[in-house]
Amino acid sequence: MRKLLTVFGATGQQGGNLIDYTLSNPELSRAYKIRGITRDPSKPAAVEFQERGVEMVKADMDDEASLKLAVAGSFAVFAVTNFWEKASAAIEIAQGKAMADAAVAAGASLLIWSTLPNVTKMTDGTLTGVVQWDSKADNINGDFEFAQTWNADTRIPLIDIKDTGKYLAPALLNPKKYSGKIFTAATAYYTGPEMADTWTKVTGKKVRFVQIPGGTTKVSLPPEMMRILKDSLGLIKDYEYYGPTGEREVQWTLEQIEGKASTWEEFVRAKEPWFEL
């Protein structure tokens, strides 16, 4: 008898890709039936999953009653929150606690939490204002500059979000072995110039890495995001994205997954075209 895997954020990137991977993986699809949680089951992505056999359930992370119904009968729960939806640490913490409490109350055997390192603890209190940070490469303009606030030597871990299921499959297939374990998901660490060089290689367009002054961006951001950006400038440079032990933890994680994680070059090739003037 298949066990129930409940996935929050089913129409988002992480949740959606976990569902897609589980459906397409023979071993996981034999082990689990899937319930997808969304605030809007009428979304095209939700409808498509329902047509593929996923039970789509409406729930709101701010509504504890709906969460209890959403996770009822679950063996495994994948939980994820979106800080920038309301830009409030207090709200995100409350949402996470509510999902965890609901999973415990439902008797779930496995809770998988999508998270980031606690920066205050990781830096021994040196950095206390980093609530959330954004590592996506979205500061590209018509001059084909990859503009970031970190310097050229800083190494950033990258992940193809479509690999979400690969990273979670070991815990889903062997919950006892991986109980309490942290999977530090990334393919490898790359510098800004390495990322830019790959874009150049794949697209044939010249892309160069540009470091912009700390606390500034080439796009307009809300004041709260600008404050967090300024507070987080020293994090990646001095402590690395996943902390000083992150690279070793990434390697351990890669050794646990089946198959090969997508490289940055493979991701860039798959997402062509990038630059259309």
- Domain assignment present for residue 253? The answer is no
In sequence order, what E strands does the chain have?
Answer: 3-7, 32-38, 55-58, 76-79, 110-113, 145-148, 155-158, 188-191, 208-211
- Domain assignment present for residue 176? The answer is no
95/128 same-domain check? no
95/154 same-domain check? no
66/143 same-domain check? no
* Count of structural domains, the chain: 2
Provide the percentage of residues in the chain whose pLDDT is more than 90: 50
- Domain assignment present for residue 255? The answer is no
Residue 264 has pLDDT above 90, yes or no: yes
- Strand 145-148 and strand 110-113: pairing? unpaired
| Cβ neighbours for 96, distance < 8 A, ≥ 6 positions apart | 79, 81, 113
Backbone φ/ψ region at 243: left (φ over 0), alpha (ψ -120 to 50), beta: left
139/271 same-domain check? yes
pLDDT at 95: 85
* Overall residue count recorded for the chain in this entry: 277
Which domain range does residue 79 map to? 1-115
> Are the C-beta atoms of residues 198 and 268 closer than 8 Å to each other?
yes
pLDDT at 75: 94
221/150 same-domain check? yes
Token digits of residue 152: 């050229």
Residue 271 has pLDDT above 80, yes or no: yes
- Range 34-50 average pLDDT: 94
130/32 same-domain check? no
Residue 72 has pLDDT above 70, yes or no: yes
227/274 same-domain check? yes
User: Model-level pTM?
Assistant: 0.71
Give the Cα separation of 98 and 63 in Å (integer).
8
277: domain CATH number is 3.90.25.10
> Are the C-beta atoms of residues 146 and 152 closer than 8 Å to each other?
no
